[in-house]
Structure 1
Amino acid sequence: MTMPQLSVLDLVPVRSGQTSAQAVAASLALAQHADALGYTRYWFAEHHNMPAVASTTPPVLIAAAAARTQRIRVGSGGVMLPNHAPLIVAEQFAALEAIAPGRIDLGLGRAPGSDPVITQLLRASGTAGDVDRFPSHVQDIALMLQPDGATVQFTSGGEYGVRATPAASGAPQIWLLGSSDYSAQLAASLGLPYVFANHFSGQGLERALDLYRTGYQPSEAHPEPVTFLTVNAVAAPTADEAEARALPQLRTMARLRRGRPLRALETVEEAVAGLRADADAEEQQLIETVRGNWFIGTGASVASDLSAFAARYGVDEVMISPVAGAYADEPLDAPAGPLQTLEQLAR
């Protein structure tokens, strides 16, 4: 089987003893390595107020990554649109397109990216919190990013032009992200590229892809449906090391699903010790359930599994979230585990 194109999804993980500055430095170093290793794109997610995640502001991280890379596409996976005014998103990504022409992706989602309290704080101004207007906001952003811009029609008559930047020569590629039937159907109706967030749950993947492909309405920019899938992956020289490096994130996911307080990501040693000392049957079961949707093993075995996965769902690109944890003696400002995964899978 043919190996699909590979891309990277980064949540900027923060491990115990690590500062935000060190976590960001490690992620930016990983973006540089992904560029050198031939990966297709590098996306930053949007999450808020989480002890183990520093990817709060994708546009800022994208700008920093774009300045440190040469050829790889950089973007958001995604910007959670209901948290932001559409004009602000359009302006930010028009500026990014000017910084790195032809290399910017704008992935848009409608989930909050945090808990209800943070959602209320993000939407306190009342400018963008209407989730029901998500489809029209997506279309507004697409128009404002075009060289001709968008036109506001006044009820009293007359028009007003709105452009995200004065003299655009290009525009970011817009992707719709989601993990539900809604997002698949909306992407299809708008003729936009679509990404199913398989790394998040994996539930409903086949149905979402079928709805997207069968309901797709061709657009000028995309006459055919365009899609790829996301996965969690850990690759290492040995299967045992890969399993060990996966454990910190697996325990974090188990805590999340049980509604337990979140904390900075454990080191491999802390995760192993914690599993032996305090894991109960429910946590063990949750870890096994989550692990069943991940790709963990040697570089060769994970590459083979990714090829089979891509062939099964008819995609030629897979975006991996390299969820490998770190050992306690590994540098705090370097992406040891994630980089190892990227190197193991690079063609």
Structure 2
Amino acid sequence: MTELTAPALSVLDLVPVRAQQTSRDAVAASLDLAAHADRLGYRRYWFAEHHNMPSVASTTPPVLIAAAAGRTQRIRVGSGGVMLPNHSPLIVAEQFAALEAIAPGRIDLGLGRAPGSDPVISRLLRMAGTTSDVERFPDHVSDIISLVSPDGATVRYTTGGEYAVRATPAATTTPEVWLLGSSDYSAQLAASLGLPYVFANHFSGEGLERALELYRTGFQPSETLAAPRTFLTVNAVAAPTLEEAEARSLPNQRMMARLRTNRPMVPIETVEEAIAGAGDFDALAESVMASARAKWFVGTGADVASALSTFAAKHGVDEVMISPIAGSYDGEPMDAAPGRVQTLELIAAALAG
């Protein structure tokens, strides 16, 4: 296994689905990528939660985490994150307590407050009436932390009496709980609860400095964390040449433009399709693409590794989580993601020295 120098590297995976690709092949490609990350010395591998998107297959992080845990040996696997308003806190606690039993000491439970989809899907997810009230998000985070602990939690009746609840009968270790977000709210909540915090810089990058300042200055030590602990997410593409890296970034630039300008979402284009589509977007969409590209880390492995090290030092973090957004060329295997594998390999090789 490669030993990576600072900053440590991790991976965020949305399980992208490209044109003509099936969900089965997309998941297979992501599990293969997780195995590569494990061998390359990456610290953790997280799956996001998104729903009803033609280009994203990461709808159920716990299922994907279990599969990835079975394909890896040492890397931490987790959620980036579970969108708590969509789920019952007890169900989340039970799922991650079971995952911790499957891969002890390797499970991360990243929790987010956003719905991860549109209002129609949110309503469908909550039809059973057992999901979490977004206004009670802080309480439900605390409930989950208690439920996954060996001692469990206690339900107190208004009429008197108590009822013990545990997410699993006999826990010996617990998943590590992180709060995720891209707003002041999540930073302040993580600080007040004494939890580690991740700013979703890959999503927009706006408000990063303020969020980190709020988290670090407002941090209250807890039983599990004595001092602030944070890392940042980024979008990255690495290739042997800058030309190839730029080409492989085009499909995701165009997907971002579709998302930000309310155009119909489609599976991620291949590089050839993205190049052929050049010129079919208006000025607004083109500006979205340019803005996104300006915040991404795209280039050769050495150049991206150097830029990541500078970025980590600037913001005082010892870890960067990469969302490897390299697109695929026509003819590349449907059940693999050579561009994403290449991104992880080249950056890791450059940092390993």
Q: TM-score, normalised by structure 1?
A: 0.98
User: Which has the larger displacement, 195-204 or 128-137?
Assistant: 128-137
**Residue type matched to 2:302 in 1?**
A
Q: CA deviation at 1:3?
A: 3.4
**Residue type matched to 2:87 in 1?**
H
Q: CA deviation at 1:281?
A: 2.2
Is 1:321 matched with 2:312? no
Task: Indicate if the aligned counterparts of 2:250 and 2:271 stay in contact, CA closer than 8 A.
Answer: yes
For 1:9, the equivalent position in structure 2 comes to 12
Q: Of 20, 24, 32, which aligns to 1:21?
A: 24
CA distance in 2, matches of 1:47, 1:206: 26
For 1:336, the equivalent position in structure 2 comes to 338
Task: Indicate if the aligned counterparts of 2:250 and 2:274 stay in contact, CA closer than 8 A.
Answer: yes
Q: Of 64, 71, 74, which aligns to 2:74?
A: 71
RMSD: 0.8
Deviation per CA, 1:158-217: give whole Å up to 9, x if none: 110000000000100000000000000000000000000000000000000000000000
For 2:289, the equivalent position in structure 1 comes to 287
Task: Indicate if the aligned counterparts of 1:3 and 1:303 stay in contact, CA closer than 8 A.
Answer: no
Gapped runs of 5+ residues in structure 1? Answer: none
Structure 1 residue runs of 4 or more that deviate by more than 3 Å after TM superposition: none
For 1:226, the equivalent position in structure 2 comes to 229
**Residue type matched to 2:175 in 1?**
P
CA distance in 1, matches of 2:139, 2:283: 46
Q: Secondary structure at the match of 2:34?
A: helix
Deviation per CA, 1:65-100: give whole Å up to 9, x if none: 000100000000000001000000000000000000
Task: Indicate if the aligned counterparts of 2:132 and 2:140 stay in contact, CA closer than 8 A.
Answer: no
CA distance in 2, matches of 1:210, 1:191: 15
For 1:262, the equivalent position in structure 2 comes to 265
For 2:211, the equivalent position in structure 1 comes to 208
Q: CA deviation at 1:126?
A: 2.1
Task: Indicate if the aligned counterparts of 2:182 and 2:200 stay in contact, CA closer than 8 A.
Answer: yes
Q: CA deviation at 1:129?
A: 4.2
**Residue type matched to 2:345 in 1?**
E
Task: Indicate if the aligned counterparts of 2:297 and 2:307 stay in contact, CA closer than 8 A.
Answer: yes
CA distance in 1, matches of 2:278, 2:268: 14
**Residue type matched to 1:3 in 2?**
A
**Residue type matched to 1:153 in 2?**
R
**Residue type matched to 2:216 in 1?**
R
**Residue type matched to 2:30 in 1?**
S
Is 1:164 matched with 2:173? no
Task: Indicate if the aligned counterparts of 1:79 and 1:107 stay in contact, CA closer than 8 A.
Answer: yes
Is 1:304 matched with 2:299? no
Gapped runs of 5+ residues in structure 2? Answer: none
User: Which has the larger displacement, 282-291 or 296-305?
Assistant: 282-291
For 2:181, the equivalent position in structure 1 comes to 178
Task: Indicate if the aligned counterparts of 1:3 and 1:306 stay in contact, CA closer than 8 A.
Answer: no
Task: Indicate if the aligned counterparts of 1:14 and 1:264 stay in contact, CA closer than 8 A.
Answer: yes
Superposed, which structure 2 residues align to 1:24-43 within 5 Å? Answer: 24-43=27-46
CA distance in 2, matches of 1:3, 1:263: 37
**Residue type matched to 1:291 in 2?**
R
Task: Indicate if the aligned counterparts of 1:248 and 1:271 stay in contact, CA closer than 8 A.
Answer: yes
Q: CA deviation at 1:283?
A: 2.0
CA distance in 2, matches of 1:65, 1:129: 27
Deviation per CA, 1:216-240: give whole Å up to 9, x if none: 0001110001100000000000001
Q: Secondary structure at the match of 1:233?
A: strand
Superposed, which structure 2 residues align to 1:90-169 within 5 Å? Answer: 90-169=93-172
Q: Secondary structure at the match of 2:278?
A: helix
Deviation per CA, 1:16-43: give whole Å up to 9, x if none: 0100000000000000000000000000
Q: CA deviation at 1:279?
A: 2.7
Q: Secondary structure at the match of 2:277?
A: helix
Q: Secondary structure at the match of 2:111?
A: strand
Q: Identity over the aligned pairs, expressed in percent?
A: 74
CA distance in 1, matches of 2:107, 2:296: 28
Q: CA deviation at 1:130?
A: 1.4
For 1:85, the equivalent position in structure 2 comes to 88
CA distance in 2, matches of 1:145, 1:129: 17
How many residues are treated as equivalent by the alignment?
345
For 1:46, the equivalent position in structure 2 comes to 49
Task: Indicate if the aligned counterparts of 1:147 and 1:169 stay in contact, CA closer than 8 A.
Answer: yes
For 2:254, the equivalent position in structure 1 comes to 251
CA distance in 1, matches of 2:178, 2:245: 31
Task: Indicate if the aligned counterparts of 2:50 and 2:59 stay in contact, CA closer than 8 A.
Answer: yes
